[in-house]
Structure formats: structure tokens, C-alpha cells
Structure 1
Amino acid sequence: MRCFGCLLGFLLLAGICRAGEEMRTWTDAQGRKIEARMSGLDGDQVLLELKDGRKIPYPLAKLSADDAHFARHFESASASDEVAEQVINFDSEWPDRIKFGKDPEISIVSEDADRKKFIYESSNYRYHCDVRLSNSVVRGFALMFEATHLFCRSLPLALDGGKKTDGKLEIRLFEQYDEYIAAGGMQGSAGVFIGGRALVLVPLDSLGVRKVGSGYMLDRDKSSKTLPHELTHQLTPRPYFAKGSMGWFTEGIAEYVAVTPYRSGAFSVRGNHKDIIDYTTAYGSKNTGGRALGENIQIDDLKKFMLQDYGDFLQYPQINYGCSLLITYYFLQMDGDGDAKRIKSFLKALRAGKTDEDAIAVLLDGRSYEQLGEEISKAWGKRGISLTFGAR
């Protein structure tokens, strides 16, 4: 394994970079930088393509937190999608409430105590765990996974992504947090979507699963906004991760799903704007977590915000995630006649291959960025939030 410093030295000798807009600066945990293109993930390593086309594996754990997060959410352009199912539902009604009321159909695929490999399945998911879990525990947390799946599929935004293996979306569960980190989890996180592997990693504690005696029990009152957020990423189709959408929309829609009130297999969609305001401006409903941006929010000009590189987006996660939620909600519920018409056209354009400013032009629909910014500011001003665009 080459060290990052060796890679840096090699790049200085590598000559002119091959053409490609994906070439970016990567920083390791010690602050050292190189220019390389990401070509994919291989287990817990990112494959960096150097200027001469050579590919070098580098451990995710040794990257800076921002670049490791970027890598985990990156989907290789050469990766093939085995789409879960096609749900082109732009003409459907916006849901008021989503409840998964069916049997999640829990089954035991295999239990191998010697190898610490235990595999369980529900209707749409396969859970790989390193400890044995009872049927009741799996059934308890599977309800949240299946309800999130139903919620995303029910939104009239054609969230029909997700790569299935033998008919199931893949989840890996870890008893020990350090094992979760070693597998690619992000320090301090409650779960993460690994885009290159179409996989969600989750520490059991995030699900409310804890060891009691020789077995495990589920705390049904423990909630986590992180998990619906990451599951939404898993269900987001690849075209929506294009430049012009990746960042403000991909994180905005994941935040939208995560912040919508959830309890016992049901998401209460109608009236979730109050929860969105509480989450963005303060610490969420009942202090369950939020971005705490206050009621006077100022960010860069709208064009720069919507078109920024995802790596730049991650530099300021609190304000960028919070504002992405506000802007996404505006397009879903406030723009025009409140029918999400323009954002649906935007998503259709992404699916048709448009990206960057060509795709954003569909969303602008004849408006300038300045005019759109004024409309967003006015709409949120009526809800008690001063959201302005300009130099911070």
C-alpha cells in the first residue's frame, strides 16, 4: 500500500491530467493533498485514478472526514444499476400519511455462529449481522426500514433507485461501533450509505438494539433521523446524483424524509412543515436534533449554492444541509401553485440526461436566479424564517 505522501510525489511526476470533470483535490487525515479522480470503491478502500490513468487503492479511514463522506456517497459512472423497481409516479397525489401496516415477512436466511454471520430478510431488505437476533427484534426494526421504503416510493418524485441483490436491498448491522467504522462507517454517525456498493451500514445501537444477558432487546422508543436519511439515499435513482442536483436536492430530499414525524411504522406527512422549521432553526421537535441555524439565515447566492461541488457542499454541513431542506421543501410545497410541478419537470430532465445548468434551467422556468431567490425568501418569510441569498 502506498502512503498518501508517496501518491502526492507520484502525482507531481504524472504529467498532464487526462480530460474529465471529476478530477478533484483529495485530502488525507493529515492534511496532505493530491489531485485524482475517483473511479469507485473496493471494500473499505477508494480507488483513486491518477493523472496518467493508473488506479491506486487508498483506505477510507485515512481520508479526511469530508472526503471519506464524499467517497461513500459517490456512485461510479461505470457501475451498473440493478434497479429495484421502476416507479414513475409523477402524476400521483402527494401523501398525507404513510403507514406500513403489513407483515414485514421476517425470515432467517442463515445463522453461522462460528463465522459470526447471521442473515435475516424482510419484505424489501436483507440484513447481514455479526450477532444472532431474535425474530421479534428483527421484526421491530424492520418496520422502520419498510415504512421508509414505502414513504420514498409513495412520494410522487419517482424515487425508484436502489440496487437489489437477489431481490433485496442490502443492509449491514454491527454490534460493535469500531467494527462499523472499520467497514466504512463515519465516526460519530448513526448509519451511512455507501454509494459505490449500494449498501447501508448501521450500528445496532442506532436501531435501539442492545445486549441484555445472552440476548438482545429492542428499545422501540429510540429514534434516529440518520437512518431514514441514509435509506432515502439508497432509494434515490442515479440520475438525481448529477451535478446541479447532487447536494442541495439529494441531501434536501433525504432530510425531508428524515424530519417527517415517524412512529410505529407511520410517517405523518401532512403538516410536517412545523417539524422542518423546528429542525432547521433549532434543535428539532422535543429537542430530538436539528441544524440550529436560527430564524435569520444568509447563504451564498443561489446559483453558487445549487451548482457547488459536493465536496464544497460538505465543508459546511450544518448550514448547507439545513438550507437544502428549506429549498427542497419550497419546490415541493410552495413553488407556483404548490403542486411541485417545476421540480417534477426538473427530475424528469435529470432522468433524460440533462445535468448542471441545463437541468437547473428547467427548474428556473424563465426566472433568473435572483428572481427565484426572492420568491424563496418571500415564501419562507411568511413562515417566520428570514432566508436571504448573498455573500456570507
Structure 2
Amino acid sequence: MSFRPSRIILAMCCTIVLIEAAEAEDAVYRPWKDAQGRVIQAAFVSATADSVTLKLADGKEHQLSLARLCAEDQAFVKSQSAAAAPAPATAQGTAPAVTAPSLDRVPVEKRTWPENVVVPTKSIEIQVVEENPAARKCVYRSEGFEFTSQAKLAGSVMKEVARTFEATKTLVSSLPWGVVCLPPEGFERYQAELFETRKDYIAAGGPENSGGVYMSGDKIFRVPFPSIGLKLLGKTYAKDDNYDGGTLIHEITHQVMDAYLTFLPVWVIEGTAEYTEMLPYNAGKFRADAHQKGLKDHITEMQKRGYAIEIGNLEEHLKMNRATWSGIANTTNRKMGELYFQSVLAVYFFCHLDGDKKGTRFIKFMDAVYGDTEAMRTFFKDPRVKHLEGGRFSYPTDFPPPDMKSETAPFKHLELLLDGRSYSQIAKEMTEAYKDTGVKISVN
């Protein structure tokens, strides 16, 4: 959970400017239509299971969710991907193996950091599933989330609440980390529970000193009304326009990255959530391209609160296991704050200051973790795996699960970040890189 005062960040999916048709030597341009009927001219580049990369006439490439496209264009993407898949080789007299077409992920070198993006209106259209105020159970759905509220909320209010959730999901999936945001196994949508009072929230398991929390055990995000900017005016709840909801962004980031949490060091888990929280937001526009300003504003705020710009022993921080982290973080809120601050400084370095300054090493690291999430997903879908009560499962001895041990699983891809360098060398590079941005950091 985030320990510091927060600000609302509305993440967004890529906005594509309407352009005239253009020709290119190596690309075939065609009209593409989104679900709202807006048309652009672009060329197909590649696709994943849930997104497509298009090239505009100016040469820039944009990754979009397949769900944003009209049905005809979704079918076109699938046909392109299937056509690109090689036919399986067969031996004489042997029937060909039947395999599903494979959709390739966007190559690391073709990924770009988003600039200004806006969450689509369609994502925050609200469906009322159930409204029973007497039973304190009202259920609403947006495109990717299901909200169970203790009180009835007007459609316009619920839409504003959903905007933050949907925007955060879109932000995380738009970053070049390559995170595929899918609801946990067995859920059609991500789940959130909204509580009228902090007392209700704490009774449901919310930590005393938190404004909201994602619990990976039952896959539910729990948050009290005040933490999402809801206030009671007469007999109706309204959204506070001055509300600052960065803590909410932090926890939603954990929620949409749930499949990755098992395979990430704690500093990456908290550092990426702090990263999304610190990005500038204004009037519906999420400035992902102003990440340096977001970082410096965050550093200024932390300095005002008496925190030093330091990481200390880099190797100890990057290799810190969860037991050690919890032991430090649970000491005092300040100790927790120090760990969070150190983590976002490290994540920012690997995303924007390391090596080619395009985050290539970090993106490769996250891609390796994506491979772990797919291996885990494949394992649990296998009919040989039996799901038991309490989240337990059984499996044959000749079909072991992927490594999910907290002592080893989060650290097996750290070598991709080191890339042959010692920790002391990276510490030196980090010091110099931050110095070039005007930030003096202490790290060894």
C-alpha cells in the first residue's frame, strides 16, 4: 500500500490523431475503425493475444487493445496473425498437429513510451447489475472492473470512480513493460469492494493506516468511500472534484499486475506502483512523457518530509526478500516510506536512465517475468492440476509447477538488469545518470 499523500492519475490508452492516408515502401496502409466509429489510416505491424501494433504515416507505432477496434478489424488482425504462423511440418502418412495460431508480442526494440493518452469513453460506461441499498449491496460494472458498493451510487458518480480504475489499467498495459492485464483466473472482471466508512473498511480486513488495499489472497481491491473522493451531500453521494487519489492508483497497479507479483522482487512491485502514482495528471490528460517532472516533483515532496535521496547498498535493496522487507516496513511508517522511495528511484533509473535510456534492460527483465506468468497460467489450466479448497492444488509428480517460491522466483531474472555488471558498477552509473538530470543521489 502507498504510504504517502496521493494525487489522482487518470491513465489512458493511446490516442491516435486522425491523419490522411499515406504510402510507405514496406507498409500497407488501410482504414482502421474503433468501436466508436472513428477512423484512421495505419499499417498492421504485429499483434499479441489482446493488442495490436499499428504504424501511422509519420512512422510512429502505437499499441492498442484489440477490444478498442470494431469487430471487422479485430477479425482482420486475427487473420493477419494466423497467416503469419508457419504451417506445421508433417511426416508422410501422419496427420498434421493441430495448434492454435501464435500471436507474437511486440519486439522490445519496437516498444515506445507513451506520450499523452486518454482513457476511452467506452471503458467507463456503467452497467447496473444489482441495486439493493437495504442489504447494502449494489453491484456495478465497467469494461474491466466489477464494483460491489455498500450504497447506491448515481451513474455519473460511478463513472468517475470507474474512470480511475480503468485509466490505471490502461496506463499499465500501455507502458513498454509489456504487462498483459488480465483478471485473475476464474474472474470475468477485476473485483473491487467499496465501503461507506473506514470502520466498515477495517472490519472487512483493510489495514488501519491505509486508504485502500489490494489483497492478492482473494483478488479483491478494498477501499472506503473517502479514499475514492466520495462524500455524502444530503442523501446522495457525490464525487469531490478536488479529491487527490494517487494512493488509489498505487493499489490498482498492484491489482492489474497480480499475475506478475509472484515473480517480481518487492522493490519492483512497489517501485512500479510508485512510478504510476507519480506521473503528472491534469484535466483528463495523463502525461507519461513528463515522467522526469513527475519524479522531480516527487523528490521535492519527499525532501520536504525529511527523506534523503539515497538507496544505500544497491545489492541489498535489489535482492531483498519479502520477509526482510516486511520486517523493515512494519517497524515504522517512515521505514516503509524509505523503502518505497528507494524503490521508485531504482525503477526510474532502469526505465529511463540506464544504458540506452530507453529502458531496454528493464523491458527484457519484465518480458522474462511475463514468460513466468504464462508458464503459471498454462500450468493451472492443465487438467492434470486439481484445484482444492483454500487456494491449494495438487498435481502429478511428473508434472511439477513452475518455480513460485518467494525465496527464488522473484530473483531469477535479475541478471538481465545486471547485464554483466557488478552492483558497484551499476551504483556508479546510477549516481552519474541522476547527476545528469540535476539530482544528487547517494547509492553504493
Q: Same fold (TM over 0.5)?
A: yes
CA shift, 1:344, in A, is 1.4
Q: CA deviation at 1:356?
A: 5.0
Aligned residues: 298
Alpha-carbon distance, 1:167 to partner: 2.3
Tell me, in whole angstroms, the C-alpha distance in 2 between the residues paired with 1:154 and 1:298. Answer: 29
1:137 aligns with 2:157: yes
| Partner residue in 2 for 1:372 | 426
Label 1:239 to 1:124 Cα distance change in 2 as closer, same or farther (>3 A): closer
Q: Does 1:298 align with 2:352?
A: no
Alignment of 1:227-306 (within 5 A): 227-242=248-263, 245-283=264-302, 292-294=306-308, 297-306=309-318
Q: Which structure ranks higher in relative contact order (CA pairs < 8 Å, sequence separation ≥ 6)?
A: 2
1:196 counterpart SS class? coil
CA shift in 2, pair 1:317/1:86, >3 Å: farther
Q: Separation in 2 of the partners of 1:161 and 1:291?
A: 34
1:330 to 346, 349, 361: 349
Aligned-residue offset at 1:222: 0.7
Q: 1:158 to 1:385 in 2, by over 3 A?
A: same
AA in 2 matched with 1:100? V
What letter corresponds to residue 172 of structure 1 in structure 2? E
In structure 2, what is the equivalent of residue 182 of structure 1? 203
Q: Are the aligned partners of 1:144 and 1:264 in contact in 2 as well (CA < 8 Å)?
A: no
- For residue 384 of structure 1, report the CA deviation from its aligned partner: 3.0
Secondary structure of the residue aligned to 1:163 is coil
Whether the 8 Å CA contact 1:119–1:129 is kept in 2: the answer is: yes
Query: Is the alpha carbon distance of 1:198 and 1:271 closer, same or farther for their aligned partners in structure 2, counting shifts above 3 Å?
Result: same
Q: How far apart, in 2, do the equivalents of 1:292 and 1:260 lie?
A: 22
Q: Secondary structure at the match of 1:100?
A: coil
SS across alignment from 1:270: helix
Whole-angstrom CA distance in 2 between matches of 1:358 and 1:174: 39
On the 8 A contact 2:262/2:409 being kept in 1, the answer is: no
Is contact 1:125-1:171 (8 Å) kept? yes
Identify if the C-alpha distance between structure 1 residues 169 and 248 changes in structure 2 by more than 3 Å, giving closer, same or farther. Answer: same
CA distance in 2: counterparts of 1:168 and 1:375, whole angstroms = 42
Residues 315-326 of structure 1: matches in 2 within 5 Å? 315=328, 316-326=335-345
TM-superposed CA distance for 1:252, in Å, is 0.7
1:212 is matched with: 233
Of structures 1 and 2, the larger Rg is shown by: 2
Secondary structure class of the residue paired with 2:210: coil
Residue among 113, 116, 120 paired with 2:136: 116
Aligned pairs for 1:194-205 (under 5 A) are: 194-205=215-226
Counterpart in the other structure of 2:92: none
Q: Residues of 1 paired with 2:120 and 2:259: CA distance?
A: 29
1:63-120: per-residue Cα shift (whole Å, max 9, x none)?
xxx9xxxxxxxxxxxxxxxxxx756454432101221132311111001123110001
- The amino acid that maps onto 1:373 is A
Which residue is equivalent to 2:176?
156
* Maintained 8 Å contact 1:111/1:132: yes
1:125 maps to 2:151? no
Unaligned runs of at least 5 residues, structure 2: 4-48, 52-104, 329-334, 373-407
Q: What is the DSSP-based 3-state SS (H/G/I as helix, E as strand, rest coil) of the residue aligned with 2:200?
A: helix
- 1:224-261 per-residue CA deviation (whole Å, 9 max, x = no partner) reads 1111111110111534532xx32111111111111111
Q: CA–CA distance in 1 between the matches of 2:188 and 2:265?
A: 27
- The question of whether the paired residues in 1 share the 8 Å contact of 2:216 and 2:258 is answered with no
8 A Cα contact 1:145 1:228, kept in partner: yes
